[in-house]
Structure 1
């Protein structure tokens, strides 16, 4: 198994793309070209990040992976706050890596816990072809998807009940398990979603009003899925608050029948506990 640092090194290179800001309702606010360099120094003992955007450079150096940052073996990662606190801004970044491309999503919430902005970052390695997919549509998602999930934990003690039946390697802080996702429309045009993972199954319904899929069954836990360019989707609670578990999710339709999703999960105390990467194919 790769170390977290070795997983980080999967991202080395120069990534060209753009930062696109959206309102919670899906309105495009602005789009800014970007160039991000991740350079290994001192025999890859240090990584220097240089981000050029809007004529300004942001430089950071890393010598370890810590805090609110976790990586998967293919280089996909998430970074964000490890604790939701009252009257404070909240947010997280979810980043998927596939071949020469990366898709990153930042979800931001204001001091009252309301979703305030989303930033979609689409990147490719400099000198390689750019092949973006169209904006995601509901028909792109309908059907049955079978997948494999890997969950990694910020703290081994945070393991949740639903992964007890998952496979686990000795000494490893991750679980792997199979997933099924079924998406279909009923006679009224309402979306029915059935999800199963390990020994747990959840069914929920949603209204569709492009570009938003709105899960409105529980007034206390309203969640929306925003359909975005390049086959992306952003799943966000409309409001985050202590006393209720929550998750942030990004999806990426890489090919018509191949999709990845990443879920950053928090418990009812507002503590970040796990990160899950799902790779699924439509059958």
Structure 2
């Protein structure tokens, strides 16, 4: 099994794209062109990362190890961010998906009161390759039945868990968005209102969740507000093709501890 460092190396290269900022309601706030370079030094024992954004000073980082805040999957997909929710501190995470010559990354940041504050979507392709564009996600693109596989890796490095998944998405007679998710021997059904590009799971006042439908095939899922002593997830979705979707879920316990990372690859049937 490849090490975490070897999985990081699958991200080497020069990635061209854009950093697009959104409000917590999905409103476009700004977009800047970008080039992110990841270069292996000393026989790939060290990584030099250079982030170039139009109109901003270059950010240069060098590192030769990975911290506890980051985990990688075997295909190079990853997440990094806060490992503990604490009172009166900013909180957030980046979730990064990779497919062939493309990457899609999402940064979700929460303010000191736990309110969702800023979202940045980073859509990239390797320099010198064709930039295949995924269309903006709409509810109609998601409806149907999706079957796939979920791989969960854990922060305590227990063995990964792989399960089959089945996700049914439909609109009921009242126009509510209904989600039925089956994995292993569990089935969870929940429903939401749809207003423009926001899907709002609102039935449980203690477990409010929203999904923002974004450009580049992306969706961003999180609570509008994270609370102490409540478990929660952060998720990015990527509709790569009309019948192929990836999702990554970063899960936190009711103690505010980051506990696991799940990568779902699913096909519409």
The normalised TM-score by structure 2 is: 0.98
Structure 1 ranges of 4+ moved more than 2 A: none
| Structure 1 residues 97-112: aligned runs within 5 Å | 97-112=98-113
Q: Report the Cα distance in structure 2 between the residues aligned to 1:84 and 1:184, rounded to whole angstroms.
A: 34
Q: Which residue of structure 2 lines up, in the alignment, with residue 147 of structure 1?
A: 148
Q: Which residue of structure 2 lines up, in the alignment, with residue 46 of structure 1?
A: 46
Structure 2: which 5+ runs fail to align? none
Q: Which residue of structure 2 lines up, in the alignment, with residue 262 of structure 1?
A: 248
Q: Report the Cα distance in structure 1 between the residues aligned to 2:93 and 2:207, rounded to whole angstroms.
A: 19
Q: Which residue of structure 1 lines up, in the alignment, with residue 229 of structure 2?
A: 243
What is the CA distance between 1:104 and its match in structure 2? Answer: 0.2
Q: Which residue of structure 2 lines up, in the alignment, with residue 178 of structure 1?
A: 164
Instruction: Say what the alpha-carbon RMSD is for the aligned residues.
Output: 0.8
3-state DSSP class of the match of 1:252? strand
Q: Which residue of structure 2 lines up, in the alignment, with residue 77 of structure 1?
A: 78
3-state DSSP class of the match of 2:207? coil
Q: Tell which deviates more after alignment, 48-57 or 269-278.
A: 48-57
| Structure 1 residues 6-85: aligned runs within 5 Å | 6-53=6-53, 54-85=55-86
- Determine which of 203, 225, 229 is the counterpart of 2:211: 225
Structure 1: which 5+ runs fail to align? 157-171
Q: Which residue of structure 2 lines up, in the alignment, with residue 3 of structure 1?
A: 3
Give the paired residue count. 268
> In the TM superposition, what whole-angstrom CA distance separates every residue of 1:11-44 from its partner, at most 9, and x where no partner exists?
0000011000000111100001111100000000
3-state DSSP class of the match of 2:39? strand
Q: Is the 8 A contact 1:18 1:121 kept in 2?
A: yes
The normalised TM-score by structure 1 is: 0.93
> In the TM superposition, what whole-angstrom CA distance separates every residue of 1:70-124 from its partner, at most 9, and x where no partner exists?
0001100000000000111110000000000000000010000001111000000
